[in-house]
Structure 1
């Protein structure tokens, strides 16, 4: 049984979900790209990892968000969509960085799907629900990235003085990751594959070849 589970975790996510995302779907998934810095993360599939690892998604939700049930997951998504961390950021800076909450929202929804707390249809519905607010707030991935970094900075400042056995990555690491996503020469960036204004145009299918390259 242990050997079977190890093999299942090693399966490429693209094998379980072989149909490439449409441009709109990729755009929605790409909202969580700033959070998806881990080497094993997937930024081009609804499933959050390049290889199937449902247990990691389940542990991450429990450890980072104390989410162990569908009800807790839905409650957290609702809170992030309504107020999230941007309420505190607004009190401190006068700016409400929706991008930070939106990135966390999509990341949590994807991991909830990854461990089976919600199904694929519910996950896509959750992602679609955040789109109007994001599109109504920002006009480019550059604007989205700037507000994400502002929200992250406020969040990190709030952690000072607390004991965290796994401190977050430095702001420099986050900055570099965002620069990579915004680099027009980075062909693997989902922000280049799904330009900002693509969500405002009719959806279309994507060529499966780039998708395959993103999930070696």
Structure 2
């Protein structure tokens, strides 16, 4: 099984990868191995990336990572939230009545309404950033991203999250809301496995979220704007 090299930056690497800890755990990956996929699962994980995120090669990987960074599920959430909040109570009821015939649109609108005003100002960006980190590490195991680059991109996502959220609990609440909206499934039963996983990460003293502080330094040697898309400076530049 592939492992991250043991060196002085491992703690920083694991703090970066901790952003994707929920998806790593849900896929049976362990932090003891740096959330590395066994070589025997390469084809399985490639199918996972293709089926869930339409990531099939280096080009589609770059495209999807850019989308998660620039827009992601957060964009749709904000658009729907803004629209619903602008409606009067009566117009809102009429709007939902019209959506009754379309379960997907109805569920999305209801979920957005349910979480509107209950999350931090950053909304559900936590879900997008959590996916970003998971995909970076998984793409590295798939052979589409260098190990060092996967760490750099994950660290950039973690720094962005530090700017948007105050602590692990605030990040977790936004992450769960985002995942539920992305899955478009309002039932408590569908959300329970993820809620249980997040609860363990928040309460178990052995978990990364308890061992590694939210505000742990993730600074790089080079100086740049923290919110700048890290793909713009490297993956998009061709020699």
1:87 equivalent to 2:75? Answer yes
Aligned residue for 2:21, secondary structure, equals coil
TM-fit CA distance, 1:193: 2.4
Question: For the structure 1 residues 195 and 121, does the alpha-carbon distance in structure 2 shift closer, same or farther, using more than 3 Å as the test?
Answer: same
Matched-pair contact (CA < 8 Å) for 1:34–1:178: yes
Aligned length: 178
TM-fit CA distance, 1:86: 0.7
TM-fit CA distance, 1:197: 2.0
Aligned residue for 1:195, secondary structure, equals coil
Matched-pair contact (CA < 8 Å) for 2:140–2:146: yes
- Find the aligned partners of 2:66 and 2:147 in 1 and give their Cα distance: 18
TM-score, structure 2 length as denominator? Answer: 0.66
Aligned mate of 1:130, from 140, 146, 157: 157
- Find the aligned partners of 1:123 and 1:32 in 2 and give their Cα distance: 12
- Find the aligned partners of 2:169 and 2:140 in 1 and give their Cα distance: 28
- Give the RMSD, CA atoms, in angstroms: 2.5
Larger Rg: 2
Aligned to 1:19: 6
Question: For the structure 1 residues 59 and 156, does the alpha-carbon distance in structure 2 shift closer, same or farther, using more than 3 Å as the test?
Answer: closer
TM-fit CA distance, 1:46: 4.5
Q: Structure 1 stretch 110-119 or stretch 92-101: which is displaced more?
A: 92-101
Once the two structures are superposed, residues 88-139 of structure 1 have per-residue CA deviations (whole angstroms, 9 ceiling, x without a partner) of 1222345621110001101111111011011112212221332332111111
For structure 2, the residue ranges without an aligned partner over 5 or more in a row are 82-111, 221-239
1:67 equivalent to 2:55? Answer yes
1:111 equivalent to 2:138? Answer yes
1:195 equivalent to 2:213? Answer yes
1:180 equivalent to 2:200? Answer yes
- Find the aligned partners of 1:44 and 1:87 in 2 and give their Cα distance: 35
Aligned to 2:126: 99
Matched-pair contact (CA < 8 Å) for 1:62–1:68: yes
